[in-house]
């Protein structure tokens, strides 16, 4: 009996030491990690990335699950910015993470649409290129000018798009709903769900078209600003 009690006490002591060691290791690892990685809005960004990746893993096996996960990733896009401002955790890394997640999700969805609608794959490929190129040029032009954010422009149309309340949200949501609806319509659905998705897709199509127009305006404006920076630098050297 005494041996058993003594053995149990040793096991309890050993378990306590293991738990303490794990906690100390976690604390040491936490202190080694740059705290910017653990900002609340960046944690939201990681959830967006994971949910989007899992959505595309299941996109050809479980369309409902894929749509829900993709929707969660897109909905959280409206959360990270609010979280960053609320906790005063705005960061350049967070801005890049947000932009790359947006581009990754839209690009991959367009690739999927090109596969399920092979007759118009060129349209989706063109929209993919326009989305990436226009946003890359916008980011580069603002960096070249030393701006703190890419959301803004001297162009009246683009400035409205980026700064007018809910304008950006409506355009982005309309685009994603339209693309998501096209994705679902490519697969068998019940008559009621098919009709609902079809109506929702048609309603969002004009908004999606406006979003593509904004991408064209953004590309044109960003190229103009980059050329203007080059011209000013050339003038300063002469």
Residue 182's nearest CA partner among 126, 123, 133 is 123
Distance separating the N- and C-terminal Cα atoms of the chain: 95
Buried b (16+ CB within 10 A) or exposed e, 175-199: bbbbbbbbbbeeeebeeeeeeebee
* Residue 118, both tokens: 């092979």
| Active-site choice (77, 80, 102, 221) | 102
Which residues, 6 or more positions from 124, have their beta carbon under 8 angstroms from its beta carbon?
110, 111, 113, 114, 117
Rounded alpha-carbon distances, angstroms, from residue 113 to 77, 108, 123, 178: 22, 9, 10, 11
CB 204 within 8 A of CB 181: yes
Is 221 an annotated catalytic residue? no
- Chain centroid to CA 83: 15
Please state, in angstroms and rounded to a whole number, the distance separating the CA atoms of residues 88 and 64. 36
Contact (CB, 8 A) for 63 and 184: yes
Which residue numbers are catalytic? 102
């Amino acid at each position: 009996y005494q041996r058993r009690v003594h053995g149990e006490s040793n096991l309890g002591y050993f378990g306590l030491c293991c738990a303490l060691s794990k906690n100390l290791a976690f604390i040491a690892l936490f202190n080694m990690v740059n705290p910017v990685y653990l900002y609340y809005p960046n944690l939201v960004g990681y959830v967006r990335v994971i949910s989007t990746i899992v959505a595309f893993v299941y996109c050809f096996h479980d369309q409902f699950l894929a749509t829900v996960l993709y929707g969660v990733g897109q909905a959280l896009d409206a959360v990270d910015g609010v979280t960053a401002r609320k906790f005063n955790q705005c960061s350049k890394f967070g801005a890049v993470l947000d932009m790359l997640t947006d581009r990754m999700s839209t690009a991959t969805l367009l690739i999927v649409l090109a596969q399920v609608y092979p007759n118009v794959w060129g349209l989706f490929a063109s929209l993919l290129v326009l989305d990436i190129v226009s946003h890359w040029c916008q980011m580069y032009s603002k960096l070249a000018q030393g701006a703190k954010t890419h959301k803004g422009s001297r162009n009246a149309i683009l400035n409205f798009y980026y700064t007018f309340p809910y304008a950006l949200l409506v355009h982005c949501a309309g685009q994603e709903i339209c693309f998501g609806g096209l994705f679902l319509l490519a697969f068998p659905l019940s008559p009621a769900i098919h009709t609902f998705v079809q109506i929702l897709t048609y309603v969002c199509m004009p908004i999606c078209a406006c979003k593509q127009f904004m991408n064209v305006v953004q590309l044109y404006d960003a190229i103009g600003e980059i050329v203007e920076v080059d011209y000013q630098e050339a003038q300063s050297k002469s």
